Amino acid sequence: MESECQSFAKALRAGNKPAFSSEAKSIDYARKLDAQDKLKLLRSNFNIPSRRSLKKRALDGSLPGEPSQQRTSNGDAADDDKPSIYFVGNSLGAQPKCIRQYLDSQLETWASIGVNGHFTSLGNSPLTAWQDMAADCAQKSLDLVGAASPSEVIYMNTLTVNLHLMMASFFRPTEQRHKIIAEWKPFPSDSYAIASQLEWHGLSTSTSLIEIQPDPETLYIPTERILSVIDEHADSTALLLLPGIQYYTGQLFDIPRITAHARRHGITVGWDLAHAVGNVELALHEWNVDFAVWCTYKYLNAGPGAIAGCFVHERHHHHHSNGAPVNGGKAAEKKSYVPRLAGWYGADKAVRFNMEKEFSPAAGANGWVVSNPSAIDLACVGAALSVFGQTRMADLREKGMVLTAYLEWLLKGLVEEDEERREGQGPAFRIITPANPLERGSQLSLLLRGGLLQRVSEKLAEAGIVVDVRKPDVIRVAPVPMYCRFEDVWEFVEVFSQAIEEAQ
C-alpha cells in the first residue's frame, strides 16, 4: 500500500500540492512521515553538529554525537548533546563520516609509498591511484549530472576558476556577437567573473551584459521572460550564462527549455549549478548544455572550498587534423580543438610524460584540466559521492520535494495566524521561492519584514537551528533530504514562530 510520503511525492511530481490534514501540525505526524521515509538511514552517514558543538571555541578531540562528559544536575545527558537542526546545506553540507576514512587512506598512501601513489592503488583502500581519482569521481557523478559518460565530467580547481576556464573556451566574442545574457542577481563571484571576462576582451558591462530582471514584487523570473530576452538579443549574444537555481530566491530554472531555445539561435549555453547539483535531477547531456560548473561543498557535502566539478558536452571533445602547405611542400598535419587555457595535466595521459612542448589534449573534459588536482581534495569528493552511491537522485529529489512542501505548508499556516493577530500590518514574512514545486529545490527563502532579521536569527541560533542569513532581510532554509527529517521541519517552524512573535 502506498504511504503518505509516496502519495505526496507523486502529487508533487505532477506539479500539485500535497493535501496535508490538520493533524500535520503535530510533532507526532512529522515523526510518522519520518517512519515512512525510505531514505531515513542515510542520515546515519553524517556528523550533524550538536547544539553543544556549535558553541565550541577550542578543539577538544570530540565529535558531535559522542557521549558528553558534561551532565545536568539530575545525571541525564545535557540537552545540548542533541543534534542541531542543520538547514544550511545550501551553503555548506554536513560532514559525511566516511570522509575521515578516505583522508586517512590518502595520508597512509602518501606516507607509505610516496610518489608511487600516483600510479598505485593499495589494497583495502577506498581510493584509486592519485592520477585516476578525478576520473573515479566523474564515474560516480553520472547520475548526479546526467552525463552520457565520465568523459564529459571532470573535477578540478574551484567553481569560479572553472567558470573562467570555460569562458576562456566558450565566450569568443566577435564584433557582431559580444553579449553575455545573465540574470539580475547572480552569486557575486559569478558577477565578478562575467564583468572581468568582458573587460578582458575590451568590452563593457554597459553594452555587452544583458541582465534578465525579475518581477519587482515577487522576484520571480518567468521562463517566457527569459526566452523573450534571448529573442531580443539573439543576433548579438555570444553566451547565455544562468544559475540552475537562483541562490537568493531558490527558483529552479527550466534548464532544458531555455537551453534549447538559446542554442536554436546559435548561442553557447553555460550553467552554474552550485545550488542544483545533488539537489535536483539533471540531464546535461540530453539537454545539450554546452558546459556547466558547480561546487561540491553545498548539497554534495565534500567540505569547505572542496574541489569543484565541470561538464563539457561531448560534441566539443573532438579533435580535427588540418594543415597548410609550407613553401609549396606537403601540408603538415596539425590537430585543432576547442581553444582553452592549457596546462600539463590536461595533456593526453598516454604522452604526458614525454614532456613535449606541443600540447596534445586528453580526450573529453580531461583536456581542460590545467594543474595536478589535489589528492586530498579528491579524497573528500570521492567520500561524499560514495554516499550518493547508496541512493538515486530521483529518490532524493522526491523526498526533498515532500520535505520542502511540508515546510511551506506549516509556514503558510504561520502567515495566516500572524495576519489574523496583526490585521492591517501585513505578514511578518513571506516566501519568495516559487510555490510551484517543479520550480524549486530543497530550499525556501523567507523575506522578513524590515528590522526583524537580527532578532529572529539570534533566536534560531539560541535554539540550535542553523540557517543561512542574507542581509538585509532574507533567511534561506534548506531541509536537505540526505540528513534532514520531517521532525526537524516541525521543530524549526515552532521555534521560528516564537522568534517572530518575540521580535515584533
Query: Measuring CA to CA, how many Å separate 176 from each of 125, 160, 208, 236?
Result: 54, 27, 11, 6
Residue 160 annotated as lining a ligand binding site:
yes
Angle, CA 411 vertex, CA 405 and CA 413 arms, to 5°:
110
CB 230 within 8 A of CB 261: yes
Residue 344 annotated as lining a ligand binding site:
yes
CB 36 within 8 A of CB 5: yes
Q: Is 131 exposed, middle or buried (0-12, 13-18, 19+ CB in 10 A)?
A: middle
Q: Can you tell me the distance from the alpha carbon of 111 to that of 13, in angstroms, rounded to the nearest whole number?
A: 50
Residue 159 annotated as lining a ligand binding site:
yes
Residue 189 annotated as lining a ligand binding site:
yes
CB 374 within 8 A of CB 296: no
Angle, CA 26 vertex, CA 24 and CA 27 arms, to 5°:
115
Kind and range of the H or E element at 161? helix 159-170
Where would I find the beta strands (DSSP E) of 108-206? 153-156, 179-183
Dump the DSSP string for 48-106. Answer: PPBTTGGG--S--S--TTSPPS-B-TTSSBPGGGSBPEE-BTTTSPPEETTHHHHHHHH
Beta-carbon contacts of 387 under 8 Å, excluding residues fewer than 6 positions away, are 42, 45, 96, 98, 301, 482
Residue 409 annotated as lining a ligand binding site:
no
Task: Calculate the CA dihedral of residues 341, 342, 348, 352 and round it to 10 degrees.
Answer: -170
Q: Can you tell me the distance from the alpha carbon of 110 to that of 155, in angstroms, rounded to the nearest whole number?
A: 21
Q: How many CB atoms lie under 10 A from the CB of residue 486?
A: 26
Residue 84 annotated as lining a ligand binding site:
no
Residue 297 annotated as lining a ligand binding site:
yes
Secondary structure letter of residue 330 according to DSSP: P
Q: Which three cell numbers stand for residue 166?
A: 570555460
Residue 190 annotated as lining a ligand binding site:
yes
Q: Can you tell me the distance from the alpha carbon of 473 to that of 469, in angstroms, rounded to the nearest whole number?
A: 8
Residue 81 annotated as lining a ligand binding site:
no
Query: Measuring CA to CA, how many Å separate 238 from each of 69, 173, 234?
Result: 61, 6, 8
Q: Which three cell numbers stand for residue 275?
A: 545550488
Q: Can you tell me the distance from the alpha carbon of 233 to that of 444, in angstroms, rounded to the nearest whole number?
A: 32
443 by DSSP, 3-state: which? coil
Phi, psi dihedrals of residue 123, rounded to the nearest 5°: -65, 150
Residue 188 annotated as lining a ligand binding site:
yes
**Can you say which residues are annotated as belonging to the binding site?**
159-160, 187-190, 272, 275, 297, 344, 372
**Can you say which residues are annotated as belonging to the binding site for pyridoxal 5'-phosphate?**
159-160, 187-190, 272, 275, 297, 344, 372
